[in-house]
Amino acid sequence: MLSHARIWAAIDRLAERYGLSASGLARKSGLDATSFNRSKRTSPDGRDRWPSTESVAKILNATGASLDEFMRLVDPGVGGMKTTIPLIGLTQAGAGRVFTEDGMPTGGPGWEEVEFPDLSNEKVFALEVQGDSMEPLYRDGDVLIVSPTASVRKGDRVVVRTKDGEVTAKEVKRRTAKSLELRALNEEHPDRTIPMKDVAWVARVMWARQ
């Protein structure tokens, strides 16, 4: 069984394997140097703080370690514990009533699925990039793992679905109670400002499978 202690111990072991301290691994991964400090692993009121899926992805990218390698560090007996999640295309995401009110796909006959590491309790699903609107960061055919329940901050890359079915993928510039300001990932596409009353859901990009 995966646990808070095992996940953090695996991060420490991965850092050691690549000759880094926990702070050094955080910096190499493009995160704040204190992100993996032991004091950050629990909240002031004693609750466990788990590393995000996005942080794990950045660690693997920075070190070149594989997902299976990391999972074996978590628990040699896990062997890459995975779950299956629904996969849909960006175009399909804007068509019909395929999502619940909380932004999760409803599923159905013929839906494709992909394997994904079962690292947290966050709700996630997969979107296949279609077209060039997300180049050069993400290209046609790439698969994005997104979460409509994850917190969203300035600078996060997100997929947004409006109430009229439009789906767009951009970077968060600013979010207020009234509007969501988005920066285009491709310079040839315009930035957007969408009134919050028109937003069905916002899903943060947690992982990219390219």
From-to residues of CATH 1.10.260 in the chain? 4-74
Confidence (pLDDT) at 121: 57
- Please name the amino acid found at residue 186: N
Structure tokens, 164: 């009229």
Confidence (pLDDT) at 182: 95
CATH class of domain segment(s) 4-74:
mainly alpha
Question: pTM for the full model?
Answer: 0.62
Give the 3-state secondary structure of residue 8. helix
From-to residues of CATH 2.10.109.10 in the chain? 82-209
DSSP one-letter string for 45-111: TS-B-PPPHHHHHHHHHHH---HHHHHHHH-TTTSS-EEEEEEEEHHHHTSSS-B-TTS-B---TT-
Confidence (pLDDT) at 118: 60
- Tell me the per-residue pLDDT of 146-170, one tens digit each, with 9 for 90 and over: 888 888 888 888 999 898 888 888 9
Confidence (pLDDT) at 175: 93
Residue 119 and residue 56 in contact, taking contact as beta carbons nearer than 8 Å: yes
Residues of the chain with pLDDT under 70: 1-2, 75-82, 94-97, 107-111, 116-122, 210
CATH code of 82-209, in short, is 2.10.109.10
